[in-house]
Structure 1
Amino acid sequence: MDALGEAVLSGEAPERWQSLPPPTEYLAAHTLAEEVDAFRGVADKDVRKTLHVGLVPMPEIAPDEVLLAVMASSINYNTVWSATFEPVPTFAFLERLGRQGGWAARHARPHHVLGSDASGVVVRVGAGVRRWKAGDRVVVSCVQADDQEPATHADGMLGGEQRIWGYETNFGGLAHYTVVRASQLLPKPAHLTWEEAASIPLTAATAYRMLISDRGARIKQGDIVLIWGATGGLGGYAVQLVKNAGGIPVGVVSSHAKAELLRGLGCDVVIHRGEIGIGAAPESPAQTIEYGKRLGRAIRKAVGEDPHVVFDFIGRATFGISVFVVRRGGAVVTCGSSTGYVHQFDNRYLWMNLKRIIGSHAANLQEQAECIRLVSLGMLSPILSEVHPLEDVGEAARRVQRNLHVGKVGVLAMAPAPGLGVTDPELRARIGEQRLNPLRPAATRETAAA
């Protein structure tokens, strides 16, 4: 650990460590440009082979940026994409960004520091930063937006220069330090540990925009919401948001162990895919319709109606079923395609029944702030299931790659142990450990059952 990092961890006042220079190198999880063809012709693209943990050069911060001492981060599926160099090598993003010149040129390097979540302490601020100072405890939004684009002022996600930090940019959060724009920062919820806080921003805010925002499905009281992958990082937050909004979550899972976990999250209806005969992806349009009929019957048996909204990030394996099963006038909202990007569905069931498909991507800063406010009020809980040290980031990402996890997989960066970073123990006690960590006690059981 470098001197600045040790001073931050010691709890000294920022005035005591402001004179300490940042290190010239820092520990980070990264991929290498020279390995982009490592999996060519390989069936099992094991991310442990391409995720390296080692020292990388410290970048200079731009006037609108801060340097953050990262206490914890988490694994998102974009880390798996980055480490498998699919669907395209992320170095193509970095090279394109670097061609802009100026401060953007820093991003085009032969290594890519990954990670799109972080919690930590601000240690340096750029000359143009106004709202943040050294010593602030923060979480990081994954979205970098260009405030000089007109579209950004309507919605930060609409700008052509909007990028996902740690995936489409360098200097991500799976590291001891990260460089982020001041416009990515939000206050860390004081009752959470570092690793709990780091598990929230990307997936919780994505689910918030998909379901609650006026740019998403805008669910309301009584809405029935079908949630694929309901014990995953996105799905676990979706269940909570639907419940908070007065809706009826219907979760789809792939194992009895996950069904038990989902009931513990408070999901009203739990459907085991295998028990209704849709255990594998459909192989034909006719099979898609048949699977949709089976799922529709199961939902109507449980709640008496078809779903108003389908929450789908699975992609090719589920999308045709989602379009079929949502009710007349309903909406399928999608933010990803972990099983494949090319979707096939029968358009008759879309146009003739006036259904809608809503594309959604991450969340703008206002939506992120609204989501974090719910967390700070104790109305939305982290769904962290396991925590790994930074040195084991390859194993953590491999578990996500193979779908052996539930909820979110956390990674400790500078934080020396789990359980640190709480500054409001009274609120934490009022909420209770079981509500704050509903998936942690059962994580070992799910791992054994996987």
Structure 2
Amino acid sequence: MNSLSDAVLAGAGEEEIERSPLPGEYVAAHLRAEDAAMFQGVADKDVRKALHVGAVPMPELAPDEVVVAVMASSVNYNTVWSAMFEPIPTFRFLRQFAAQGGWARRHDLPRHVVGSDAAGVVVRVGSGVRRWRAGDHVVVNPAYVDEQEAGSHDDGMLGDEMRAWGFETNFGGLAEYALVRASQLVPKPTHLTWEEAACSPLCAGTAYRMLVGDHGARMKQGDAVLIWGAAGGLGAYAVQFVKNGGGIPIGVVGSSGKAEALRKLGCDVVVDRREIGLDDTTGDDPARVLAVGKRLGAEIRRRIGRDPDIVFEHVGRATFGVSVFVVRRGGTVVTCGSSSGYQHTFDNRYLWMRLKKVVGSHAMNLQEQVETNRLIASGAVSPTMSAVYPLAEVGEAARLVQTNGHLGKVAVLCLAPERGLGVTDPALRARIGEDRINPLLTAAQARGGTS
């Protein structure tokens, strides 16, 4: 600890925080460039072997940036990809970013501080920052947008230089401090703890854009939405957005324990993928894709009487062909990722002859993040936290996500010394209720998960 960390933890105000000097270094989860080839020829790319936790230098602050004292963060699948050095080592992203020159050069280092979520306290603001002050409680939108690009002024995701913070940039959120553009900041929901708040930005914002925002599937009341990986970080938020929007969530999970947890989250229809014969190799065999699609389609029609209007797709190679097959005529497959592989195959007859659509969706713009945060701040959408680890054990947290042994999101305490801190509106928290705030944490504890 240092005097700045002590001041933040004591709830100090703006002047005291600004008087406390920034430390010259801080503890962070990071990758090392020298390890980039460590998994070549290795079957089990165990992320615990690649993620290091230790001191790194404090970077210099740009005029449009702030330094956030990170109280808590969470593990996303992009951190797993980073620590596997797949599909390419993220040090290439850092070199590409640095090629812009100027302040971007700071990011090209032989170490990469990872993490694309954070909740914490602003401790420094750059000379060009107007709307934020030291002492503000914030969560971080992971969309790292270049405001000088024309496309960004249409939609922040359309700029060629848009990046995922902590994945395609350095100085990410799995650390005691993080460097963030002021345009990434959103007020922290007042009724949530640090670790609860840190679980939402990336996954909740991504799911909101895919389903609710103008750039995704544009879900309507009454729409039936098939959600792959519905008990995971993205899927558990998707279930809530569908339910809140008057739709019918149809969740696919991989175990009976996850199915039960999903029902507690309010999912109307839950399908165990083992019962339809789906596994990670399904997408490699066109005949199996159609067979699984027919079984899944029949089960959905038996349960709700019709085919899904939208498929929420992020699994990729293993499921994409099934998604295209099973969505209704004229329906939409919206995709934001490919955790089982990027190369997808599908029978194009079912796309063109049945007038279906595939919509690509990536991250979220700041307005979408603000709208998502508004729902969370009101209690209409709950965090999907199921486990909490200290920063020293971030490798174990990432391994849990890598092996799909988790529900929802896995939080990581950074500067926060213990769980339960950060609530500034206990009355609102009491009105919403603990069980409603943490539905998946309760379910994980019931099945013997880490808490």
TMscore range, shorter length:
over 0.9
Q: Distance in 2 between matches of 1:389 and 1:277?
A: 37
Tell me, yes or no, if structure 1 residue 400 matches structure 2 residue 421: no
Q: Distance in 2 between matches of 1:7 and 1:276?
A: 55
Match of 2:307 in 1: 306
Q: CA deviation at 1:14?
A: 2.2
Q: TM-score, length-normalised on structure 1?
A: 0.98
Structure 2 counterparts to residues 2-401 of structure 1, below 5 A: 2-279=2-279, 281-282=281-282, 283-401=284-402
- Contact kept, 8 Å, 2:151 with 2:159, in 1: the verdict is yes
Following TM superposition, where does structure 1 have runs of at least 4 consecutive aligned residues deviating by more than 3 angstroms?
A: 444-449
Kindly tell me: are residues 448 and 440 of structure 1, through their superposed partners in 2, closer, same or farther at Cα, counting changes over 3 Å?
Answer: closer
Is there any run of 5+ residues in structure 2 with no aligned partner, and where? none
Letter in 2 for 1:348: R
Q: CA deviation at 1:17?
A: 2.9
Q: How many residues align?
A: 449
Q: CA deviation at 1:445?
A: 4.4
Q: Deviations over 1:31-50 (max 9, x none)?
A: 00011011111111111111
Q: CA deviation at 1:154?
A: 0.4
Q: Deviations over 1:3-56 (max 9, x none)?
A: 111111111222123112100100000000011011111111111111000000
Q: Distance in 1 between matches of 2:77 and 2:12?
A: 36
- Contact kept, 8 Å, 1:258 with 1:446, in 2: the verdict is no
Q: CA deviation at 1:108?
A: 0.4
Letter in 2 for 1:371: T
Q: TM-score, length-normalised on structure 2?
A: 0.98
- Contact kept, 8 Å, 1:405 with 1:447, in 2: the verdict is no
Q: Distance in 2 between matches of 1:146 and 1:343?
A: 30
- Contact kept, 8 Å, 1:114 with 1:171, in 2: the verdict is yes
Q: CA deviation at 1:281?
A: 3.3
- Contact kept, 8 Å, 1:311 with 1:334, in 2: the verdict is yes
**Which stretch of structure 1 is more off in the superposition, 30-39 or 11-20?**
11-20
- Contact kept, 8 Å, 1:281 with 1:318, in 2: the verdict is no
Q: Distance in 1 between matches of 2:244 and 2:137?
A: 27
Secondary structure of the equivalent of 1:387?
strand
RMSD of aligned alpha carbons = 1.1
Q: Deviations over 1:294-339 (max 9, x none)?
A: 0000000000000000001000000000000000000000000000
Q: Distance in 2 between matches of 1:379 and 1:5?
A: 33
Letter in 1 for 2:73: S
Q: Distance in 2 between matches of 1:2 and 1:53?
A: 18
Give the % identical residues. Answer: 66
Q: CA deviation at 1:377?
A: 1.1
Q: Distance in 2 between matches of 1:296 and 1:281?
A: 19
- Contact kept, 8 Å, 2:318 with 2:341, in 1: the verdict is yes
Letter in 2 for 1:275: E
- Contact kept, 8 Å, 2:14 with 2:133, in 1: the verdict is no
Q: CA deviation at 1:444?
A: 3.7
Secondary structure of the equivalent of 1:442?
helix
- Contact kept, 8 Å, 2:225 with 2:310, in 1: the verdict is yes
Secondary structure of the equivalent of 2:415?
coil
Letter in 1 for 2:345: Q
- Contact kept, 8 Å, 2:279 with 2:318, in 1: the verdict is no
- Contact kept, 8 Å, 2:386 with 2:409, in 1: the verdict is yes
Secondary structure of the equivalent of 1:373?
helix
Q: Deviations over 1:105-140 (max 9, x none)?
A: 100011000000000000000000000000000000
Secondary structure of the equivalent of 2:263?
helix
Q: Distance in 1 between matches of 2:344 and 2:446?
A: 34
**Which stretch of structure 1 is more off in the superposition, 16-25 or 332-341?**
16-25
Q: Deviations over 1:280-303 (max 9, x none)?
A: 532411111111000000000000
Letter in 2 for 1:56: V
Match of 2:423 in 1: 422
Secondary structure of the equivalent of 2:442?
coil
